[in-house]
A and B are shown apart, each in its own frame.
Chain A
Amino acid sequence: GENVGLHLPTLSVQEGDNSIINCAYSNSASDYFIWYKQESGKGPQFIIDIRSNMDKRQGQRVTVLLNKTVKHLSLQIAATQPGDSAVYFCAENRDFNKFYFGSGTKLNVKP
């Protein structure tokens, strides 16, 4: 994962809008990617994953896009709700049991 320093990037969106959270991964050999949501005082919660042989995967209100050419991953949240406020981070799986995590983006949903 990337060290983006002590200040977590913050995305502020209005309730009901769509959110897009981005992640740049570092190794072209990574073949499996995961998005996690971490609410204050809780552990990371699995949201959605995608394998490197796919470029898009949809879940309930969430979509993950993978661009292997530029090593970029994004998480789209449709109709963002106050309960979506949290830190979101991506993880890349390089070796079988080695996962590397980004430091995250804080999503702030304004009512």
Chain B
Amino acid sequence: DVKVTQSSRYLVKRTGEKVFLECVQDMDHENMFWYRQDPGLGLRLIYFSYDVKMKEKGDIPEGYSVSREKKERFSLILESASTNQTSMYLCASRRQYSNQPQHFGDGTRLSIL
């Protein structure tokens, strides 16, 4: 089974802090994704990476950056956290072929005070 592990289940940070969310997958998947999930809005794509050191903006990249130095690890960075970034953050990975589903971690619930 695919295992996507997010380093923290719950995180509380203060406005203006730099926040790092970490994600690791163990299936040698080429593609990795960061989403945020808010009530009534579904999952919205922040950034994705199709290979090491490669990244592309998703639908809501403002206020975020990402890093993919190794194939198994994809980090989401909140450069200067704001209260409107309080959310559930989900990481996913998938194989780089057509018709392949994404596999998700259990999420990080981030609160910015």
Contact = CB atoms under 8 A, between A and B. Distances in A.
Given A97-B31, A97-B48, A97-B50, A46 B42 contact: no
Contacts of A46: 101-103
B107 A43 contact: yes
B42 A103 contact: yes
Contacts of A103: 40-42
Interface residues of A, number: 31
Nearest to A41: B106
Given A43-B90, A43-B107, A97-B31, A49 B42 contact: no
Given A1-B43, A6-B40, A43-B106, A96 B98 contact: yes
B1 to A, nearest CB: 10
Given A8-B39, A41-B106, A46-B101, 14 more contacts: A3-B41, A4-B40, A6-B40, A32-B98, A34-B102, A36-B104, A43-B104, A43-B105, A43-B106, A46-B102, A49-B99, A89-B42, A91-B102, A97-B48
